Chains A and B, each alone.
Chain A
Amino acid sequence: AQSVAQPEDQVNVAEGNPLTVKCTYSVSGNPYLFWYVQYPNRGLQFLLKYITGDNLVKGSYGFEAEFNKSQTSFHLKKPSALVSDSALYFCAVRDMYGAGGFKTIFGAGTRLFVKA
């Protein structure tokens, strides 16, 4: 089965500084990778995905993620953090289900705190 790991429960960064939220994956074959954000008392919002193509993927709200096959990583980045970026971030991967079906598996989440 495919899986993703988010090694940090929490990331703290000062406003204006670059931020990185880490994700590593374990898949067989080519990975389909995703990032989502969850604000308090809200559903998850899709940020970006990597399926194929350029290793640097740009997404919503100024976020981007870098796919690194040799390090099996898909870290989320933003050049300049905002206080409003404070939220829970989930990395996710497509996994097989049954004979030919697919489902999305989510990591445990990383809480990002951006301090003013």
Chain B
Amino acid sequence: AQKITQTQPGMFVQEKEAVTLDCTYDTSDPSYGLFWYKQPSSGEMIFLIYQGSYDQQNATEGRYSLNFQKARKSANLVISASQLGDSAMYFCAMREGFVYGNKLVFGAGTILRVKS
């Protein structure tokens, strides 16, 4: 079974609008962490936001927020006020437990295109 599922291969959003990128996960470990990364065409992995399984509140980092619904095992990324520079590939990833450190499992990714 897929541990991380991103069901949107591609998304379009109008500049200045908000967009939600979906991510569902599957784990039986009560301790886990969820990450979102942005990967532009250069290939670098840019960390956006992190949510721990025990965190009570949804994580926020500037224009990025994570809609964490633990019972539904979803961790959607919300980008507010989209900018042209947000066009990139976005990956959701999970770390299970802490024994293996930050070994991550990635979803298939979503390509986001921001239209002017």
| Same assembly | no
Q: Which residues on A are within 8 Å of B, measured CB to CB?
A: none
Q: Which residues on B are within 8 Å of A, measured CB to CB?
A: none
